[in-house]
Structure 1
Amino acid sequence: MVSEFKEFAARGNVVDLAVGFILGGAFSTIVKSLVNDVIMPPIGLLLSGVDFTNLFIPLDGGDYPTLEAASAAGAATLNYGLFINSVISFLILALALFFLVRAMNAVSRAKQDDTPEEPPAKPRQEVLLEEIRDALKAR
């Protein structure tokens, strides 16, 4: 098992995977900021000033003006506004990754189209038969 792990770690895929995770974490921070700071305020404004971060249901039956106030009071809450923000963040992230993968596939296809394909090699029997034919013609 140790030797398998060494082989796996030595391939270089681990480094690629680590870079992917780090970039993914940074990208998710950007997406979260985009959703919370750019997209949700106009949507809230269009919906009569609704602040999605303060959409919650207190499970203790109390009345709290904000989620912070409910949390400070120690009330258990069902935070569906934060869930909506998370769903929107996920959709934006998925869309961005879709476009990234689509662009990478287009570049990959373009590279494949640029390289001429070599015709497949003839089977050995066919090559030998052609040599025999050519030798017989030469006689």
Structure 2
Amino acid sequence: MDAKLFDAAKAAMARAYAPYSKFSVGAAILAEDGRIYAGCNVENASFPEGWCAETSALGAMVTAGATRIREIAVIGASALTTPCGGCRQRLAEFGAADTPVHICGPEGHRKTFRLGELLPAAFDKDHLG
């Protein structure tokens, strides 16, 4: 995993808005265009209306015109802060089964999964006929 990807995810985590859960998460996507797009979780008093870090990073990526994920780093303070189920599906829309998903903690890289490991048998555009 590239150090710039980790640094971007860590910087995003530091900007998380998590006054309710106190659980800050950051994510950084390396897109096929070679640029890094970061996001953090943004909570809302009306649960579950907040945004996950991965969703924020995807929004930044798509807004900039990129549509394919090369790899992603997700950082949180717990043992393995993996993307939630909804974010796994969102990542699958823009990634592939072999897209690396690097799980990090404040100290650095902890484990890498492939997106297909996190979301086997993903629902995709081929299911829509």
TM-score band by shorter chain is under 0.3
Whose strand fraction is larger, Structure 1's or Structure 2's?
2
Whose helix fraction is larger, Structure 1's or Structure 2's?
1
* Larger CA Rg, structure 1 vs 2: 1
Higher relative contact order (CA 8 A, sep 6+): 2
